[in-house]
Amino acid sequence: MITECFPGTGQISALVMAKCKCSCWGGPNAENFREGAASELPEAEAGCKCTCWCEQGKASTQRNDDTSAATAEAT
Amino acid sequence: MSLWCAFATERQNYVYDTSSNRILAVEPSVIGVLHGEQAHQAPGERCETDQAAREAVAAARSEGLLRQLPYQIRSFPRDEMHGQIAGLLAHGPDQLVLNVTEACNLRCAYCTYSGAYPHHRSHSKRQMPTAVAHAAVTWYLNHPRRQQFTIGFYGGEPLLRLPLLRALVAQARASVGERVHFSVTTNGTLIDEDAARFLIEADFGLTISLDGPEAIHDRYRRTGDGRGTFGTVWRAVNLLRRLDERYFRERVQFNVVLAPPVDLDALDAFFAAHPDIFRGSNVMTAPLNPQPSTVAGRLTGETDPSLAQAQRTQLWQHFEDDLAAGARERRALPWAQLSRDFVPLHQREMSSLPETIPTHGQCLPGARKCFVDTDGTFFMCERVAPAWPIGSVEEGFAVDRILAVVDAYDRFFAAHCGSCWAVRLCAKCVNSVRISDALDPTRRQAFCDNQRRYWRGLLTRYCGAREQRDDAFAWAQEVEIR
């Protein structure tokens, strides 16, 4: 009666982790700013929270490493 | 409002579920249950909906789907802005855009700066002083943590200041070498061989305004004494192509303003007749500036609604034929107009949302772009100027003004987006809803209604195409969103 179909590829999450600039806080280095990737955060900083901005208004995300909850959409 | 959207193709009923970002194939009775809930019908009133549908909805909810409670919306939480601002100040903008002149050698009827837009400047001879331009570039290049720099030039017609552009390119190259890239938006009428060789040599990203074939382009894009400019622009296009085919293919794109009366058939035929010049990926179409104006009185006519509908249908047919054939960009205009938003839809992530979520589209002012007006004032982009200045060459970024803009944006959308099913799909910034420097509730309502209509249509076509061919959007996996 309810069936999932046509799932997304999830590439946007990978994009946000890999390509966007992220300002992260809440971890040991709360004022850190990552140009490139939230996923490059060292192990010790896992659990901090990042807001990431992608170029040209294409995507933005808010990510919490604890839950890997993220959202990113495009203009 | 709800956090789901029902839609149907010829074959199947669907629900797009915001909380999971999933597309669900459903029986019509499930949609009946959801609509009944939305209308706050008591269970006894839902006699048409069967028990199985209610149980299916309940089961979906137990798996986290079909959420009913609204989300909290916070895109720029104050307690998180400290880190973002620190990052902005350390890195500076992704792109510095210099408004090197307000002068223009054309007088296009629909131009934002034609005097028809009371909230924008009019053409003038005001120039950015050379010292201000160099100071702006110095300020930008002095952000030590930035690895790559992009400097753009805007106007007026920026190529009227070609000597200044040469000097600024030399300054930037001397300072950071190949780590700086350049771009320019031009009407294309001043690109002689000397200018072309300079643009190619510096590898400028070049956006040329070209509205279509001669009859359409020359309708509005004219010189001050009324002469059409298509021939001049077309010669420049072919000159660039002749001088450096690689450069032309990789660095030149076209901005096409769809000014009424719009004739999509004529545009489509023109672009299709020149496949060596136009591709879906190097043509951008744009409507007229929607800010309040008297521009309608300068146009030669209105778009015929029934003709426009027929032409849009034809454009969709071309696009969907390509999808069904597994082909890509066989015609430039359908792909330029229709393909873009399928990419994020196809690449969407399949995850649940936290309780507090941001909305999408609004930049941290200054982070992506810093538009520098002729007098050295900073704005978040050329579309927004002269509203909301965010600093100047002398003082750098004014943090309090940047925070005021994002606070206003958050307040403006907070009450509306948390219960809207399109919150993960639509994107908007202050420019989408502003009149001058005020965020306008009427524009917001129109924008939101339009976005929901648009995304519902896109979801319908997406599912329809994948019903016919599951890999219809395989091409979208290869598109890199930057």
Label residue A67 by pLDDT band (50, 70, 90): very low
> Do B429 and A15 make contact, defined as CB atoms within 8 angstroms?
no
Cross-chain CB nearest to B24 (options A3, A8, A11) = A3
Query: Could you give the 3-state DSSP secondary structure of residue A49?
Result: strand
**Which backbone phi and psi does B153 adopt, to 5 degrees?**
-125, 135
Beta strands in A1-75, from DSSP E residues, in sequence order: 2-5, 21-25, 33-34, 49-53, 60-64
Residues 10-29 of A with CB under 8 A from B: 10-13, 15, 19, 21, 23-25
Tell whether B145 is covered by a domain: yes
Q: Residue B106's beta-bridge partner residues?
A: B223
Asked if residue B11 and residue B126 are part of one domain, the reply reads no
Give me the pLDDT at residue B460, please: 98
State whether the Cα torsion B403-B93-A34-B430 is positive or negative: positive
Give me the pLDDT at residue B43, please: 57
Give me the pLDDT at residue A38, please: 47
Tell whether B300 is covered by a domain: yes
Asked if residue B266 and residue B135 are part of one domain, the reply reads yes
Tell whether B44 is covered by a domain: yes
Instruction: Identify the CA nearest to B376 among candidates B355, B359, B356, B390.
Output: B390
Q: What is the pTM of this model?
A: 0.88
Q: Tell me, what amino acid is at B346?
A: H
Which own/partner contact pairs does A30-35 have at CB distance under 8 Å and 24+ positions apart? A30/B83, A31/B82, A31/B83, A31/B86, A32/B83, A33/B83, A33/B84, A33/B86, A33/B87, A33/B90, A33/B91, A33/B145, A35/B91, A35/B145, A35/B146, A35/B147
Query: Could you give the 3-state DSSP secondary structure of residue B326?
Result: coil
Give me the pLDDT at residue B157, please: 97
Asked if residue B260 and residue B151 are part of one domain, the reply reads yes
The Cα–Cα gap between B31 and B2 comes to 12
Asked if residue B145 and residue B8 are part of one domain, the reply reads no
Number of domains in chain B: 2
Residue A31 has pLDDT above 80, yes or no: no
Tell whether B371 is covered by a domain: no
Residues 45-74 of A with CB under 8 A from B: 49, 51, 53-62, 64, 67-74
- Using an 8 Å Cβ cutoff, are B428 and A74 in contact? no
Asked if residue B146 and residue B282 are part of one domain, the reply reads yes
Asked if residue B132 and residue B65 are part of one domain, the reply reads no
Give exposure, B266-288, as e/b (b: 16+ Cβ within 10 Å): ebbebbeeeeebbbbebbebeeb
Helix (H) or strand (E) holding B13: strand B13-17
> Do B349 and A67 make contact, defined as CB atoms within 8 angstroms?
no
Tell whether A60 is covered by a domain: yes
- Using an 8 Å Cβ cutoff, are A17 and A39 in contact? yes
Residue A45 has pLDDT above 90, yes or no: no
Q: B407 vs chain A: nearest CA distance in angstroms?
A: 16
> Do A57 and B345 make contact, defined as CB atoms within 8 angstroms?
no
Average pLDDT, chain A: 52
- Using an 8 Å Cβ cutoff, are A2 and B24 in contact? yes
- Residue ending a domain, among B256, B288, B304, is B304
Number of domains in chain A: 1
- Using an 8 Å Cβ cutoff, are B405 and B384 in contact? no
Domain that holds residue B18: 4-69
State whether the Cα torsion B444-B448-B450-B455 is positive or negative: positive
Asked if residue B163 and residue B58 are part of one domain, the reply reads no
Asked if residue B22 and residue B117 are part of one domain, the reply reads no
Going by their DSSP bridges, the two strands B72-73 and B356-357 should be labelled as parallel
Tell whether B166 is covered by a domain: yes
Mean pLDDT of A40-56: 49
Label residue A68 by pLDDT band (50, 70, 90): very low
Label residue A55 by pLDDT band (50, 70, 90): very low
Cross-chain CB nearest to B347 (options A9, A21, A70) = A9
Tell whether B358 is covered by a domain: no
Domain that holds residue A44: 11-64
Q: How far apart are the first and last CA of chain B?
A: 32
pLDDT in tens, B73-84: 888 887 778 777
Helix (H) or strand (E) holding B258: strand B252-258
Tell whether B437 is covered by a domain: no
Asked if residue B135 and residue B237 are part of one domain, the reply reads yes
> CA of A29: which chain B residue's CA is closest?
B83
> Do B351 and A69 make contact, defined as CB atoms within 8 angstroms?
yes
Residue A18 has pLDDT above 90, yes or no: no
Asked if residue B279 and residue B181 are part of one domain, the reply reads yes
**Which backbone phi and psi does B119 adopt, to 5 degrees?**
-95, 5
Give me the pLDDT at residue B142, please: 96
pLDDT tens across the length of chain B (482 residues): 899 999 999 999 999 999 999 999 999 999 999 999 888 766 555 555 589 999 999 999 999 999 999 999 888 887 778 777 888 898 899 899 999 999 999 999 999 999 999 989 999 999 999 999 999 999 999 998 888 899 999 999 999 999 999 999 999 999 999 999 999 999 999 999 999 999 999 999 999 999 999 999 999 999 999 999 999 999 999 999 999 999 999 999 999 999 999 999 999 999 999 999 999 889 999 999 988 899 999 999 999 999 999 999 999 999 999 999 998 888 999 999 899 889 889 988 888 888 888 887 888 899 889 999 999 999 999 999 999 999 999 999 999 999 999 999 999 998 999 999 999 888 888 999 999 999 999 999 999 999 999 999 999 999 999 999 999 999 998 887 65
CATH code at B285? 3.20.20.70
The Cα–Cα gap between B119 and B63 comes to 50
Task: Decide if A43 touches B, using CB distance below 8 A.
Answer: no
Give me the pLDDT at residue B190, please: 98
Rounded to 10 degrees, the C-alpha dihedral A51/A56/A57/A58 comes to -90
- Residue ending a domain, among B272, B304, B336, is B304
